[in-house]
């Protein structure tokens, strides 16, 4: 049950909750962890099954990580670059995701993976569904850090009408319920400079994959 008395909280679609400025002063700690993780599992541009490199760079932490190559989208226990397991999820990641999910009305959330997206000028992400996880009753918690971007939130078909939300540093979307399989994407990252991330935007998406 969502607390509509929370002034920072908006339900953008049934089960999809936007929490503005949701991470307070944890931003620097989260970004520090991102750079530690990227030193172990570097950001890379994955190839889609059609053979195109995505413009967004990605890495993962947790028990599994989301990858894509010519054979498809899936979760893997090992980073294909190193052949080693993905770095474990920092406590501050897990604790933050659990608290945010609870605030949006999803108690006892315990993610087993975090996909980290890095956007540079010109990066974008087309409309897609997140459907490589096993249990769609579990929400996704998404934290935006750095430069702003336009988030498009559609329905259950790729081409239907969509709601647009400009996501800024510290904004969070918790994506669950009947919206868990909604199509969504983000527009092109525009040039800019953020005091903590410079010319980039990072997006942490927490999932229960297995
Ligand atoms: C992004 N986010 O914000 C891309 N997926 O850069 C996603 O694709 C996403 O924000 C599932 C749930 C929440 C999200
Ligand atoms: Fe997504």
**23-64 pLDDT tens trace:** 999 999 999 999 999 999 999 999 999 999 999 999 999 999
Beta-ladder partners of 151: 165, 186
Distance CA 60, CA 203 (A): 11
Helix (H, G, I), strand (E, B) or coil at 29: helix
Q: Which token pair is 91?
A: 């406590």
The answer to whether the CB of 175 falls within 8 A of the CB of 145 is: no
The answer to whether the CB of 18 falls within 8 A of the CB of 27 is: no
Distance CA 145, CA 103 (A): 19
Selected residue with higher pLDDT from 13 and 30:
30
Position 4 scores a pLDDT of: 59
Share of the chain above pLDDT 90, in %: 92
Which residue minimizes the CA distance to atom 7 of ligand 1?
185
Question: Residue 113 to residues 19, 25, 107: CA-CA distances in angstroms?
Answer: 21, 23, 17
User: Left (φ > 0), alpha (ψ -120 to 50) or beta: where does 177 sit?
Assistant: left
| Ligand 1 closest atom vs CA 128 | 8
**Whether pLDDT at 16 is above 90:** yes
Q: Give the number of residues written for the chain.
A: 210
Position 62 scores a pLDDT of: 99
Q: Which token pair is 186?
A: 């983000």
Taking the centre of ligand 1 as the mean of its atom positions, its distance from the CA of residue 188, in whole angstroms, is 14
pLDDT classification of 93: cutoffs 50, 70, 90: very high
Phi, psi dihedrals of residue 183, rounded to the nearest 5°: -70, 140
Distance CA 127, CA 40 (A): 30
Position 160 scores a pLDDT of: 82
The answer to whether the CB of 114 falls within 8 A of the CB of 97 is: yes
Average pLDDT over residues 75-84: 98
Position 159 scores a pLDDT of: 84
Position 156 scores a pLDDT of: 82
**Whether pLDDT at 101 is above 80:** yes
Distance of CA 210 to the CA centre of its chain: 17
Average pLDDT over residues 190-205: 98
Nearest ligand to residue 152 Cα:
1
Taking the centre of ligand 2 as the mean of its atom positions, its distance from the CA of residue 126, in whole angstroms, is 9
Q: HSE (CB half, 13 Å, CA atoms) of 67?
A: 17
**Whether pLDDT at 2 is above 60:** no
- Alpha helical stretches, state H, the chain: 27-40, 91-103
Position 3 scores a pLDDT of: 52
- Local structure of residue 161 (DSSP, 8 states): -
| Mean pLDDT, the chain, whole residue set | 96
Spatial strand order of the sheet with 140-146 comes to 9-13, 16-19, 172-175, 140-146, 201-207, 113-119, 57-62
**Whether pLDDT at 87 is above 80:** yes
Position 127 scores a pLDDT of: 95
**Whether pLDDT at 174 is above 90:** yes
Mutation test residue for ligand 1: of 123, 128, 203, the one with most atoms within 8 Å of CB: 203
Distance CA 118, CA 158 (A): 23
**Whether pLDDT at 168 is above 70:** yes
pLDDT classification of 158: cutoffs 50, 70, 90: confident
Which residue minimizes the CA distance to atom 14 of ligand 1?
142
Rounded to two decimals, the pTM is 0.96
Taking the centre of ligand 1 as the mean of its atom positions, its distance from the CA of residue 2, in whole angstroms, is 20
């Amino acid at each position: 049950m969502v607390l509509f008395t929370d002034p920072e909280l908006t339900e953008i679609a049934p089960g999809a909750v936007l929490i503005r400025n949701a991470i307070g002063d944890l931003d620097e700690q989260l970004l520090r962890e991102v750079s530690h993780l990227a030193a172990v599992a570097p950001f890379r541009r994955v190839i889609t099954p059609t053979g195109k490199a995505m413009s967004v760079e990605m890495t993962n932490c947790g028990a599994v990580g989301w990858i894509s190559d010519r054979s498809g989208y899936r979760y893997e226990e090992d980073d294909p670059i190193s052949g080693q397991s993905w770095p474990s999820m920092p406590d501050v990641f897990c604790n933050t995701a659990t608290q945010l999910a609870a605030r949006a009305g999803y108690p006892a959330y315990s993610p087993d993976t975090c996909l980290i997206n890095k956007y540079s000028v010109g990066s974008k992400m087309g409309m897609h569904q997140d459907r490589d996880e096993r249990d769609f009753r579990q929400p996704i918690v998404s934290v935006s850090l750095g430069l702003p971007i336009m988030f498009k939130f559609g329905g259950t078909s790729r081409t239907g009408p969509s709601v647009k939300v400009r996501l800024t540093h510290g904004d969070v979307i918790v994506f669950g319920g009947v919206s868990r399989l909604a199509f969504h994407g983000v527009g092109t990252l525009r040039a800019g400079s953020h005091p903590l991330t410079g010319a980039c935007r990072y997006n942490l998406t927490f999932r229960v994959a297995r």
